[in-house]
Amino acid sequence: MSRQSFLYLTQEQVVECGGADVVATVADVDRATRLLYEGEAIEATTATLFWDLSEEDRKKAIGYKGTKRVNCHAAFVNDDGERMVGVKNIPSNPENPVKGRGPRASGLLTMLDAESGYPIALMDCAVISCTRTGALGALGARYLRKSGINDVCLIGVGPINQAAMAALHHVCNDGADIGLVHVFDLTRERAEAYARRIETELGVRAQVAESAEAAVRAADIVMPATTLTVPEQAYIPYEWFRRGALYIDLSIWDAKYDLYEHADKFYANAAESIERHNLTPGCLVDAGILQPEQLLDLGGVIAGKVPGRDNDDQIIVYFARGMAIYDAICGHRVQKTAEAGSLGQDLVLWEHGHWG
């Protein structure tokens, strides 16, 4: 049996190889969403493990009260003959920053050889995962925002919304189609600091909102990225939205159910999202609030097969659900860049193989 090794990349090397490249990530996410719609990608069912939860909470059908969890994702992507297989695990605990441990989440992405199934690369995935999640949110704005200048609402200024704002700037004509960004965070100092960064780094006007309500009411694109865990925590009612608004559902439980009862159109980045019954939009279908045929596939919009926004008066909901297809396509790009630049470390899986 021949020697088998794989490329290992640290987080710093992933960044050096484009893991945080917003423009490249938006292109990857756009491409993968279309490939999924066209049947050229496969997403496995996510496996989620919670610990330090009561048995009652572990059995909850919708939402969860726990904070410590790990999600395991796997996907296959065939991009014009370039076959990619990625497996990601991403542990998360929102208590980490509060307790001074570091970021909320970490992650590892394993890229597999599509023929042998052997690992060919192992890399930090926290940066890739965060960047592609933000890009996925912005992808909705690329295809579903109203025409002209759009004011933006950001609720939460953590890494996800920072990535989403950078990607939104890119898809909105490098910021030319963005008016004023209204920033709200439970910690005002964080909101003030990030508003200054938006103006300095992106060249877009930004101001701190006094409340989530004020931010939503003033915006055409609404993007919350919070750590809510159950629908009972929802705080954004339908009445806060102005006509023509696009609601980008990044963190699942921010909007009250009456938004879904009254919005004009609904999109998701994957039809498979209905099958995840513990999250929106699947739980909305189960509750009879949303009919399956109402949920339109953004991949079809990208492919020119599904209509997008009909007019600038519609209130549209876009469910942006994270999938391993995005990690796989981004990780493939990072891996190829690393190999071209001779970056990373070669680690041996086996020299001869125990079983011969």
Count of other CB atoms within 10 angstroms of residue 44: 13
Contact of 184 with 154, CB cutoff 8 Å: yes
pTM recorded for the entire structure: 0.94
The answer to whether residue 200 sits within a structural domain is: yes
pLDDT at 236: 98
- Residue 52 pLDDT exceeds 90: no
pLDDT at 1: 60
Q: Give 226's contacts (C-beta < 8 A, 6+ positions apart).
A: 155, 156, 251, 253, 254
pLDDT at 66: 62
Residue 167 domain boundaries: 145-319
Same domain, 78 and 29: yes
pLDDT at 258: 97
Instruction: Find the range with the poorest average confidence among 51-65, 68-82, 334-348.
Output: 51-65
Mean local confidence (pLDDT), 42-56: 86
pLDDT at 28: 98
pLDDT band (50, 70, 90) for residue 272: confident
Tokens at residue 261, please? 């009862």
pLDDT at 64: 62
The answer to whether residue 12 sits within a structural domain is: yes
d(Cα 34, Cα 210) in Å, to the nearest integer? 39
Mean local confidence (pLDDT), 101-107: 87
The answer to whether residue 105 sits within a structural domain is: yes
Mean local confidence (pLDDT), 34-63: 85
Same domain, 179 and 282: yes
Same domain, 208 and 164: yes
d(Cα 70, Cα 135) in Å, to the nearest integer? 22
Same domain, 36 and 92: yes
Instruction: Find the range with the poorest average confidence among 44-58, 234-248, 329-343.
Output: 44-58
Same domain, 182 and 311: yes
pLDDT at 76: 98
Task: Provide the mean pLDDT of the chain.
Answer: 94
pLDDT at 294: 96
Contact of 128 with 148, CB cutoff 8 Å: no
- Residue 102 pLDDT exceeds 90: no
Same domain, 257 and 195: yes
Burial class (CB in 10 A: 0-12, 13-18, 19+), 72: middle
Top-confidence residue, 22 or 3: 22
pLDDT at 298: 98
pLDDT band (50, 70, 90) for residue 34: very high
- Residue 62 pLDDT exceeds 70: no
pLDDT digits (tens, 9 = 90+) for 63-99: 666 678 899 999 999 999 999 999 999 998 888 888 8
The answer to whether residue 178 sits within a structural domain is: yes
Instruction: Find the range with the poorest average confidence among 62-66, 161-165, 207-211.
Output: 62-66
Mean local confidence (pLDDT), 176-181: 98
pLDDT band (50, 70, 90) for residue 18: very high
Same domain, 85 and 182: no
What CATH number is associated with residue 33?
A: 3.30.1780.10
The answer to whether residue 100 sits within a structural domain is: yes
Q: Give 44's contacts (C-beta < 8 A, 6+ positions apart).
A: 73, 74, 75, 324
pLDDT at 300: 98
pLDDT at 196: 98
d(Cα 137, Cα 132) in Å, to the nearest integer? 9
What CATH number is associated with residue 292?
A: 3.40.50.720
Tokens at residue 12, please? 């710093």
Q: What is the DSSP letter of 105?
A: B
Kind of pairing between the strands at 246-249 and 316-319: parallel
Same domain, 153 and 293: yes
Instruction: Find the range with the poorest average confidence among 1-5, 68-72, 184-188.
Output: 1-5
Q: What 3-state DSSP class applies to 170?
A: helix
Same domain, 120 and 14: yes
Contact of 108 with 8, CB cutoff 8 Å: no
Same domain, 72 and 184: no
- Overall domain count for the chain: 2
The answer to whether residue 195 sits within a structural domain is: yes
- Residue 341 pLDDT exceeds 70: yes
d(Cα 94, Cα 103) in Å, to the nearest integer? 8
pLDDT at 143: 98
The answer to whether residue 139 sits within a structural domain is: no
Same domain, 298 and 346: no
Same domain, 304 and 231: yes
The answer to whether residue 233 sits within a structural domain is: yes
pLDDT digits (tens, 9 = 90+) for 294-335: 999 999 999 999 999 999 999 999 999 999 999 999 999 999
pLDDT at 61: 59
